[in-house]
A and B are shown apart, each in its own frame.
Chain A
């Protein structure tokens, strides 16, 4: 059974060539070039049904058009943002030979961060950072909220997974010598990301406001206070005063869900930009086979 074909929407019809635009790029196929120009001109004149003319355009030219002519939403966005060259350069950039599974640790760490952000948003919907209600709100999340205990567990164990992954990623970078020229700056950013991740873990530990978290945080802040020069000031900043008090919890909450994640997200952006720009390292035991053509060119 053959169904009647509905007319193509206007946006999908082949567009007439713009004034002054080049004729078909593959001019070697004289046949194709002639066919292409004519229906295009006809469309421009009458704007008649263009399905017939569309089907006569050779495949290669269609592909060319698909790349060049902005179509639909993606085209609209691309025309205004110019994002597609970047997306193409990012997705179709080459990665060196010898890529192995150790190279996935960085992206896995980022994925763990995204998972933490998503579960964290849902927890924040129910959590109340008031000393009198924090523990109760966590209990409510665990006992009453739909899937609450599961999401809290994912957030809790996601933190562990993220810390383990970031250490593994760092070990890979270290043993592969990937921190060397020209990637020194990316190593710096990575170490800061490690510190921020540990800061996330430290500030998040207090939030359930149970004995475990509370006393561990008291000790951790006191350790901070024992540091030279900035130690006492840092501890005072964390506590919101000389003592643990009512504002300490909301302070930790703000640091945990706004300050540090914002910094982490921004630094991940910079980290990724540098990875894409400088390229993923090759395993250090790989040597480039002398490319015959290349060396002849050099001579």
Chain B
């Protein structure tokens, strides 16, 4: 917008403003009604949906697959859509950050004087595409499991896969295309360590890895599944 367009807008706006009503009580009445509706929605949601409290957090053993709040599903879903490990950073940080920076700087690169949504098709389409993309990712994120589930094609080790996923190994270790890189990679741990060594490490790990002694005592079968699965990764 150049100086003339700015001047024009300000003049036009001041005319429209002078033709309008005062904030109090007209806009206040609308805002108040909306606030009451907001309150009502919150109360109805509380009464209908309640406030569930899941099982207590346990850093060592868990049969739990992490799920974020639903409005973060689109972020988690990005992780699954962008598969190759070297691009994970792209999914987790770069894309959201870039999107955010674009959003922040929006008024600095979109400086045209036009405000009507139909007369600035690029901005409107970009907005609709963003909303559609986020909705799509949220929906498939809601329908699918957690991004830390193991998608590795291991040989018929369904129980072991599930047990490993639920034990939280992927919080620190990478298996195939999933997990984090705090601890050593487990993708081919079976070729590096024999079965017994894996079991020993699970029971007496080097810090900061938590011990799985409790799991072995409570659910030896599940513990064995994990050991079998890890040993099969070659």
Q: Do A and B bind each other?
A: yes
Interface size counted on chain B using CB atoms at 8 A: 88
B70-85 CB contacts (< 8 Å) to partner A: 70-72, 76, 79
Question: A214 touching B26 by the CB < 8 A rule?
Answer: no
Among A52-60, A102-110, A260-268, which stretch is in contact with chain B?
Answer: A102-110
Say yes or no for A215: interface residue by CB 8 A criterion.
yes
B142-162 interface bits toward A, Cβ cutoff 8 Å, 1 = contact, 0 = none: 000001100000000000000
The 8 closest A-B pairs by CB, nearest first: A177-B115, A214-B57, A215-B66, A153-B46, A184-B107, A104-B34, A284-B115, A153-B51
A133-155 CB contacts (< 8 Å) to partner B: 135, 138-139, 142, 149-150, 152-155
CA gap between A191 and B65 in the complex, in Å = 31
A226/B19 contact (C-beta < 8 A), A154-B43, A211-B57 known? no
**Chain A: minimal CB distance from B139 (Å):** 15
Question: B15 touching A291 by the CB < 8 A rule?
Answer: yes
Say yes or no for A125: interface residue by CB 8 A criterion.
no
Q: How large is the interface on A (under 10, 10 to 19, 20 to 34, 35 or more residues)?
A: 35 or more
B117-131 CB contacts (< 8 Å) to partner A: 117, 120, 123-124, 127, 131
Question: B93 touching A215 by the CB < 8 A rule?
Answer: no
Question: B30 touching A99 by the CB < 8 A rule?
Answer: yes
Residues of B near A32 (CB, < 8 A) are none
Question: A227 touching B93 by the CB < 8 A rule?
Answer: yes
Question: B45 touching A161 by the CB < 8 A rule?
Answer: yes
A175-195 interface bits toward B, Cβ cutoff 8 Å, 1 = contact, 0 = none: 111111111100110011001
Question: B68 touching A216 by the CB < 8 A rule?
Answer: yes
Question: A171 touching B127 by the CB < 8 A rule?
Answer: yes
Residues of A near B193 (CB, < 8 A) are none
Give the residue name and chain of the A residue nearest to B76 (CB): A219
Which residues of A does B touch, CB under 8 Å?
90-99, 101, 103-105, 107-108, 111-112, 115, 135, 138-139, 142, 149-150, 152-161, 163-165, 171, 174-184, 187-188, 191-192, 195, 198, 201-202, 205, 208-216, 218-220, 222-228, 231, 242-244, 279-282, 284-289, 291, 294
Residues of A near B57 (CB, < 8 A) are 135, 209-211, 213-215
DSSP class of A's interface residues: helix, strand, loop or mixed?
A: helix
Question: B71 touching A181 by the CB < 8 A rule?
Answer: no
Question: B38 touching A222 by the CB < 8 A rule?
Answer: no
Residues of A near B39 (CB, < 8 A) are 111, 115
Question: B27 touching A227 by the CB < 8 A rule?
Answer: no
B48-65 interface bits toward A, Cβ cutoff 8 Å, 1 = contact, 0 = none: 011101111111001011
Residues of B near A99 (CB, < 8 A) are 20-21, 26-27, 30
**Chain A: minimal CB distance from B14 (Å):** 9
Say yes or no for B213: interface residue by CB 8 A criterion.
no
